[in-house]
Structure 1
Amino acid sequence: MADQPRINRMIRVREVRTIGPDGTQLGILPIERALAMAEEMDMDLVEVAPQARPPVCKIMDYGRFKYHQAKKAQEARKRQVQTQVKEVKVRPKTDEHDFQVKLKKVREFLADGHKVKVTVMFRGREVTLPERGLQQLQKMLENLGDDVRVEHPPRMEGRNMFMLLAPVSRSAKKS
Structure 2
Amino acid sequence: MKKKEEHRINNHIDSNKVRLVGDSIKNGIFSIQDAIQLSIDKGLDLVEINPKVDPPICKILDYKKFLYEQKKKKKQFKAKQIKVNTKEIRFGPQIGDHDGKVKIKSAEKFLMRGDKVKVFVFFKGRSIVYKDQGKIKLLKFAEEIEEYGKVEQMPVMEGKRMYMILAPKKI
TM-score range, shorter chain: 0.7 to 0.9
CA shift in 2, pair 1:69/1:96, >3 Å: same
Q: CA RMSD in A?
A: 2.3
Partner of 2:15 in structure 1? 13
User: Cα deviations across residues 35-74 of structure 1 (Å, max 9, x unaligned)?
Assistant: 1121233321012244555433111121221122112212
Amino acid of the residue matched to residue 133 of structure 2?
Answer: R
* Runs (5+) with no aligned partner, structure 1: 171-175
Any residues of structure 2 matched to 1:62-141 within 5 Å, and which? 62-141=63-142
Who is 1:153 aligned against? 154
The equivalent of 2:25 in structure 1 is 25
Give the aligned length.
168
Equivalents in 2 of 1:120, 1:166: separation in Å?
Answer: 18
Residues in 1 aligned to 2:146 and 2:165: alpha-carbon distance in whole angstroms: 15
Question: Any idea what SS the aligned residue of 1:154 has?
Answer: strand
Q: Percent identity?
A: 37
Q: Distance in 2 between matches of 1:53 and 1:137?
A: 62
What amino acid maps onto 2:10 in structure 1? N
Task: Report the CA distance between 1:130 and its aligned residue.
Answer: 1.0
Deviation string, structure 1 residues 89-120 (Cα, Å, up to 9, x no partner): 12212121221121122122222222110001
Tell me the alpha carbon deviations over residues 2-56 of structure 1, each in whole angstroms, 9 at most, x when there is no partner.
9923221232333223245xx2232332111111121233321012244555433
Equivalents in 2 of 1:10, 1:48: separation in Å? 13
Counterpart in the other structure of 1:163? 164
Specify the alignment match of 1:44 in structure 2: 45
- State the alpha-carbon separation in 2 of the partners of residues 3 and 144 from structure 1: 52
Q: Residue 11 of structure 1 aligns to which amino acid in structure 2?
A: I
Contact in 2 for aligned 1:151/1:165 (Cα 8 Å):
yes
Query: In 2, distance between residues paired with 1:137 and 1:96?
Result: 13
Task: Provide the rounded CA distance (Å) in 1 between the counterparts of 2:132 and 2:112.
Answer: 29
Secondary structure, counterpart of 2:94 in structure 1:
coil
Equivalence for 1:142 = 143
In structure 2, what is the Cα distance between the partners aligned to 1:67 and 1:129? 61
Question: Structure 2: any 5+ residue segments left out of the alignment?
Answer: none
- Check the 8 A contact 1:17/1:26 in 2, yes or no: no
Counterpart secondary structure, 1:70: helix
